[in-house]
Structure 1
Amino acid sequence: MHDVKNTARALVRIGYDGRVHKTFRGHMAKERFENEVRVLKHLEARGCLFVPQLLEHDPEVLKIVTTNCGSVIEHISAERMAEIYAELASYGVRHEDAFARNITYRQSDGRLCVIDFEFATLLDDPAGAGLKPSAADLPEDPAQPKPSFP
């Protein structure tokens, strides 16, 4: 396996079989783990094909294993990014961390995909709560324009 991301919040590795292994750590690790599992299950049930599929999850070690959605992209227009996150919203999910760093390119079919759902909100959830009130509350990424989406 090789590390893709190693931060205070998560360790992300890609296995030799191409599967993505994400271990949650740090602040609210359990809640972020549970939220990502819930959102990925929701998206799979709705037939969303441009997000990772949840293959395994282990609440004891706060780890998920998903399919690989390709590589992180270098550049994307604000308009295209807004389209992708709006398409995600049509599946009942607001991402809450809607930046280019969470969009990948899947070479096998040329599809732009969305990853990293630990802060996402299910729009039809009666509890109504993701882990972030809105994308506006996230720190700005000065290298990327912030999209407007529903």
Structure 2
Amino acid sequence: MPEIKDTARATVHIGFDGRVHKHYRGARARERFETEVAVLRHLEQRDCPFVPKLLESDPEALSIITTNCGTRVEHLSSRKLKLLFGELEDYGVRHEDPFLRNVTYRAADGRFCLIDFEFATLLDDPSVSLKPDPDPEDEDQTPAPDA
């Protein structure tokens, strides 16, 4: 499986079938896993069309498998970035990590998508929230304006 991310917090691979495999590790791994699972389930119940679908979760292994939402985006205007993360709030979720690294492009329908919900907040249940600490390994710390 091609590796697309390997940090202190997680490893991410894309399987030969196109599904995304994410394994959580490091500080607060269980909490981050539980938050992402809860948020992805919430977004699926609300039929959010621009996030991955949770296919499997394994609380023992702290891993999930999701659908693939396309390829990483290299450039996006600050206006578009702000609108995209703002649109997520219409589905009851604040991303809390509104950086370009969490945006993908799905060529099949020409849609920008959002990924990585381990720090997100459910707006109707703020007990589901983990705000991130800055990660020195992250190369792109460009936030959405007014985020």
2:84 counterpart SS class: helix
Task: Give the TM-score, by structure 2 length.
Answer: 0.92
Amino acid at match of 1:5: K
Query: Letter of the aligned partner of 1:69 in structure 2?
Result: C
**Structure 1 match to 2:98:** 98
Q: Which residue of structure 2 aligns with residue 130 of structure 1? A: 129
Unaligned 5+ segments in structure 2 are none
C-alpha distance in 1, partners of 2:19/2:36?
Answer: 16
User: Does structure 2 conserve the Cα–Cα contact (< 8 Å) formed by 1:4 and 1:14?
Assistant: yes
- Call closer, same or farther: CA 1:143–1:42 in 2, change over 3 Å: closer
Alignment map for 1:12-91 (pairs within 5 Å)? 12-91=12-91
Q: Deviations over 1:54-109 (max 9, x none)?
A: 00000010000000000001100110000000100110000000011100000100
TM-fit CA distance, 1:147:
2.1
Structure 2 match to 1:120: 120
Shift of 1:8: 1.1
Instruction: Give the share of equivalent positions with the same residue, in percent.
Output: 59
Q: Which residue of 2 aligns with 1:3?
A: 3
Q: How many residues align structurally?
A: 145
Residues 79/13 of structure 1: CA separation in 2 closer, same or farther (3 Å cut): same
Q: Does the Cα contact within 8 Å between 1:97 and 1:138 map onto a contact in 2? A: no
**Aligned partners of 1:37 and 1:130: how far apart in 2?**
12
Aligned Cα RMSD in Å?
1.8
Contact persistence 1:14–1:20 (CA under 8 A)? yes
1:144 and 2:142 aligned: yes
Q: C-alpha distance in 2, partners of 1:145/1:23? A: 25
Unaligned runs of 5+ in 1: none
Cα distance in 1 for partners of 2:139, 2:94 equals 18
CA deviation after TM superposition for structure 1 residue 25, in Å: 0.3
CA distance 1:126–1:75, shift in 2 (3 Å): closer
- What letter matches 2:60 in structure 1? E
2:140 and 2:19 mapped to 1: Cα distance? 31
